[in-house]
Amino acid sequence: MSEAMLSKVRKLLAKAEDPACPPAESALFTAKATELIARYGVDRALLAARDPASDPVGDRLVDVVAPYARDKAGLLVAVADPLRCRCVRRQQGDGFVLHLFGFGSDLERVELLFTSLLVQAAHGLAATPVPAGEHPGAFRRSWLAGFAQAIGERLRAAEAAAVADAGTASTALVLADRSDRVARRLAEAYPRVRTAPRRRLAGGGFGAGESAGHRADLGDPSVPGRSAARPLPG
């Protein structure tokens, strides 16, 4: 991501995170940062259509560690899918390795957002008391599921708006072709990959997590080098 874009997003999020900023204004600053991140993805896709070498298809491995490794992996999928990346989950000890496939610019966006959102999820869980009578682990797993669902919905909406703003009929075709190429790359590496069964969660934290996901900052570029393994409450 260009330094100019990073600078714009940093300034917007600094305003959004200012304790003195009214909630309505904070939401507007955060929405603008999200819009810039989505627009960047579309711009890079259109550039790569003219110059494929500028943004090749690639892959990378992301370690997802306990506790709540499966739930963290679900958050990564919720971020990756709207940003046109695909992933395969592999068991590693009590955690997972997720093998991400996507174009370089999209992989960059996924890693930035996922690292930031893990930190925000940790803060959100720590600030959310487990109701009396609820099993802490079940409540937190369902909280994380709600958080991930809200994040996925917001990212899909931001990406759709960026495509609409591009204003060209060919943009959707370019992005569809990119998605197809990523899917082919994954199939070459994992010809027998299986879809994981849908989870059933018993905890009552989904609504609280979903609300936190709707409030979360998206597009925080200040996180490179910050650990993605910040522990969630046990």
3-class DSSP assignment, residue 150: helix
Mean pLDDT on 74-98: 92
Torsion, Cα of 86, 149, 26, 158 (10° steps): 50
Whether pLDDT at 9 is above 70: no
* Cβ pair 133, 226 in contact under 8 A: no
The pLDDT of residue 30: 62
Average pLDDT over residues 108-114: 81
The pLDDT assigned to 188 comes to 94
For every residue of 96-132, DSSP letters joined together read EEEEEEEEHHHHHHHHHHHHHHHHHHHHHHHTSPPPT
Q: Inform me whether the pLDDT recorded for 110 exceeds 80.
A: yes
Q: Considering only CA atoms, which of 90, 234, 106 is closest in space to residue 162?
A: 106
3-state SS, residue 16: helix
The pLDDT score that the predictor gives to residue 25 is 73
The residue among 233 and 191 whose pLDDT is bigger is 191
Residue pLDDT, tens place only, 173-201: 888 889 999 999 999 999 988 777 677 77
**pLDDT reading at 209 higher than 60:** yes
User: 217 falls in which pLDDT band (50, 70, 90)?
Assistant: low
Instruction: Report residue 184 as tokens.
Output: 């082919």
Sort 24 into a burial class: Cβ within 10 Å, 0-12 / 13-18 / 19+.
Answer: exposed
Average pLDDT over residues 44-66: 83
Residue among 97, 86, 96 at smallest CA distance from 186: 86
The average confidence (pLDDT) of the chain is: 79
